[in-house]
Chain A
Amino acid sequence: MAHTRRDFLRAGVGGWALMSLRVTTPNVFANAVTAAGTRARDRDTILVVIQLSGGNDGLNTVVPYADDEYGRNRTTLRLPTDHLHKIDTALAFHPRMEAFVRLYHEGHLSVVQGVGYARPDQSHERAMRIWHTADPQRPERQTGWLGRVADHVRREVDGDTSAVFVGPIARPFALNAERAIVPCVRAVEDLTQRDSPREMSEVGGAGVNDALLEFVRRRMVTARAKSERIKAVTAWDDYPSFELAGDLRTIARIIRADVGIRVFFAELGGGGIGGFDNHANQLGNHGALLHQLAESLAAFVRDLERDNLLDRVLVMTFSEFGRTLKENGRRGTDHGAAAPMFLVGGNVRGGLVGPHPSLTDLENGSPKFHTDFRRVYATVLDKWLGCDSQAILGQQFETLDFFNA
């Protein structure tokens, strides 16, 4: 009778685990586990990037409610003032972003206003490519800025991948690297070994003086140890049931397992052209997405705070463009230019960075940028990841001031 899957599993767990106890050289294994657990630097920082696909309407996210131009141009999409969550006498968060107000008042949220670049592209694909490559002059460039970070880190330490994408869609181009392999992760099971004959990798080896074989063998021990660490961490359940919340929950679990991944990328809007592309019936759909963003992120922050991990984590949101000030007759808005970016974390200074762009001085019907998005990237690279921004971005950008000193 053919053996069944069940037999395979059963025998796999029993006999082979015993074998490991018989033959594992305890020191080798113990050292490897310790090595995987100790970071090169004790306080490695972590970046979590959240892409808002489709072009987020910055004006209905951080709302210039006191500006008459806002109300005049937004005949059906104007958000009622008394439902807004006010930041100050001029600006407020969207009514469904109540969770952001808490983060803001706790000093964990920084809003960089008017972010964009010169001669903004209005096509989803090209604009997104620009944010991904961080190179508006060379749209055909074949690596993404975070892929270059992964290559950079890989060259420096000849180690494991430092970046992953977590989510159900195809991996965004920002993570395309020349050499480093940046994996897609849908669930933590993508990072843990099924029932494994692990013992094999940990035994023998004495007297082998082949550098390549020794390299693979050592990596195997590390791989095993990291897999075990991830398995040992349990996920926190107190997340809302949105896709993004699930992805952030997975990210928090991997962060907690402490396996050396420093760049995470997640997405809201479902890829493709994206859910933020509200040309019609924007009000409800946009509100639903902002609600998902705020609630998911707030749960993530609470989760990280449980283990005092928030100080090590920075979350950054971006979208390929903002939207037009004037609505388009279909209760929606069209592709625009500058928009705000959010930065969330324990080391973020909190508050507004830069002024809200003018609503009378427009470009293609949309607010103009005053802060190049690569200044935000450069700040994150230099001041947070400790990764030379000039090497990644190809030129030096003036950094911004949104971290605690």
Chain B
Amino acid sequence: MIEDKDRKADPNWAWAVYEPDARRPWTGTLAAHLYRRAGFGANWQQLQQAVAEGPQATVSHLLAPGSDVEAFDRTYDGYEGGVGSVNGLRAWWLRRMIETPHPLQEKMTLFWHGHFATNGAALKQTRLMREHLQLLRRHALGSFAFLLQALARDPALLLWLGADANRKAAPNENFARPLMETFTLGPGHFSDDDVREAARAFAGWFVLRDRLRYLPREHDAGTKHILGQAGEFTGEDVIRIVLEQPATPRTLVRKLYRWFICETDEPGEDLTAPLAESLAADYSISAVVETILRSNLFFSSYAYRQRVKSPVEFAVGVIHALEGMVSTTQLGRDVAGLGQDLGHPPTVKGWPDGRYWIDSIMLTRRHNLAWALLQGGDPYGDKLDSWKVAQRHGYADAESAAQFLLELFLQDDLDPDVREMLRRNVREDAHTDSAAALDRLTYAAVTLPEYHLA
């Protein structure tokens, strides 16, 4: 772990590329940290490869994993084609997260789903939600400007916001307001007048019979005054104008900081300024994400375990690490019960994060989900097997398999007393049934406080 507490505030140090040295060595602990943030945790092969290749090569690989991504996405797009409900899409998405060759893309799709939080319950056609999620995925690491322009024309988002009818005579603020308040500028950077004027600019756009339509006679061709600019603006101009405001990249960078680095501490303006400048230049999402993932700050104690895993990260992480696949229909329900119902965020502000996920009832349910996944009976069946995974990677006896699992799930970074206890228990139980003893070890490991942190 890099202990450079006093240096955090120094942007030059913070965003410089992390170079391992004797004082700050590259270890499995940091490799797993990278995979937790840039994906849904590492499995053993990913962990080993990352340790061997070093941080920068691993980040490069995470950003551009190679050509099989397209084939994978095509196959899954095909699977999702016949799905008739948002909960069906939820199941396929969770399966994608578990199997994807491009975890960062899915992680960012999840980020944008929380940012442009669209609730599919409002939609009559599943197709709209499917296309919405595919849109988020396509631009997840691309240009935020493109993404925003596309979403301003996305029937799913407009229907959910109640912005499906924009008449000249009655400008609809239901898109303009969240556009400024939630999607770009953030509160305090615009006035009610800006919202009203922007709504006029969107007049003419409708969603009719689940398709986007432009009705020229409903467009308001008059002059609008938006954020200090005046002109006969259209909706596209509004998007351009909000993207020109310095508040937009700053707000987005703060959110990405919280997502990738730390949610216990708000960064100072100076610290995030270089990233905001980079984003303002071309709105390239991947450029900012790349800077973050390669940085000293990302690999420092300021970031390490300074996020709470969301329910999706928690559940997908366990299954991905154990190299298995379970019923994602059931998993979707259980993860919804933990407070994160994919496809149904509670409000347009997305999901809560951090400490909000950790509540007595939700912790009890995380325990119960881990138990359900590992105990071998209904509803998940005997699909995850800790012992087999350990053997597959060459850990042939229970004792070494126990060590393997603690490495896999916690990189052995846990309270030494607890570790001793866990291993002693495996030793004591293994002679009767190694497989059960090791599944219990996994169960204990993934319900430790440390495992709930990302």
B86 interface residue per 8 A CB criterion: no
Complex Cα distance, B418 from A16, in Å, reads 12
Complex Cα distance, B415 from A131, in Å, reads 50
Q: Do A211 and B433 have beta carbons less than 8 Å apart?
A: no
B121 closest partner in A (C-beta): A170
Chain B residues proximal to chain A, CB less than 8 Å: 161-162, 174, 264, 305-306, 308, 337-339, 346-349, 352, 355-365, 367-368, 371-372, 374-377, 382, 414-418, 421-422, 425, 428-429, 432-433, 435-437, 439-440, 443-444, 447-450, 452-453
Write the nearest CB–CB distance from A191 to chain B, whole angstroms: 6
Number of interface residues of A (CB under 8 A): 59
Complex Cα distance, B383 from A5, in Å, reads 12
On chain B, the residues within 8 Å of A4 by CB distance are 376
Q: For chain A residues 177-215, which have a beta carbon within 8 Å of chain B?
A: 177-181, 183-184, 190-197, 199-201, 203-205, 208, 210-213, 215
Q: Do B339 and A181 have beta carbons less than 8 Å apart?
A: yes
Complex Cα distance, B367 from A216, in Å, reads 13
On chain B, the residues within 8 Å of A222 by CB distance are 360
Complex Cα distance, B22 from A8, in Å, reads 44
Contact of A158 among B355, B368, B428, B449 (CB under 8 A): B355
Provide a sorted-by-A list of 16 A–B residue pairs whose CB atoms are within 8 angstroms: A2-B382, A7-B436, A8-B374, A11-B432, A11-B433, A15-B429, A140-B174, A181-B361, A183-B361, A183-B365, A193-B368, A196-B371, A200-B447, A201-B449, A203-B418, A217-B449
Q: Do A223 and B376 have beta carbons less than 8 Å apart?
A: no
Contact of B368 among A15, A194, A212, A217 (CB under 8 A): A194
Q: Do B375 and A226 have beta carbons less than 8 Å apart?
A: no
Complex Cα distance, B355 from A204, in Å, reads 21
> Given A8-B376, A205-B415, A177–B358 Cβ distance below 8 Å?
no
Q: Do A3 and B433 have beta carbons less than 8 Å apart?
A: yes
Q: Do B358 and A184 have beta carbons less than 8 Å apart?
A: no
Contact of A3 among B362, B376, B449, B452 (CB under 8 A): B376
Write the nearest CB–CB distance from B32 to chain A, whole angstroms: 16
Q: Do A140 and B162 have beta carbons less than 8 Å apart?
A: yes
On chain A, the residues within 8 Å of B453 by CB distance are 212-213, 216
Q: Do A215 and B435 have beta carbons less than 8 Å apart?
A: no
Q: Do A184 and B435 have beta carbons less than 8 Å apart?
A: no
Q: Do A192 and B364 have beta carbons less than 8 Å apart?
A: yes
Q: A143-B347, A181-B338, A197-B443 are in contact. List 19 more A-B contacts (CB 8 A).
A: A8-B375, A8-B436, A9-B375, A11-B440, A15-B429, A158-B355, A160-B359, A176-B346, A176-B347, A177-B346, A183-B339, A183-B361, A197-B447, A212-B264, A212-B305, A213-B453, A220-B363, A223-B361, A223-B364
On chain B, the residues within 8 Å of A204 by CB distance are 414-418
Complex Cα distance, B452 from A11, in Å, reads 25
A154 closest partner in B (C-beta): B356
Contact of A203 among B305, B308, B358, B417 (CB under 8 A): B417
Write the nearest CB–CB distance from A143 to chain B, whole angstroms: 6
Q: For chain A residues 309-344, which have a beta carbon within 8 Å of chain B?
A: none
Complex Cα distance, B365 from A219, in Å, reads 13
> Given A19-B425, A219-B363, A213–B449 Cβ distance below 8 Å?
yes
On chain B, the residues within 8 Å of A213 by CB distance are 305, 449-450, 453
Q: Do A15 and B428 have beta carbons less than 8 Å apart?
A: yes
> Given A8-B374, A11-B429, A192-B364, A200–B444 Cβ distance below 8 Å?
yes
Complex Cα distance, B417 from A342, in Å, reads 56
On chain B, the residues within 8 Å of A160 by CB distance are 359-361
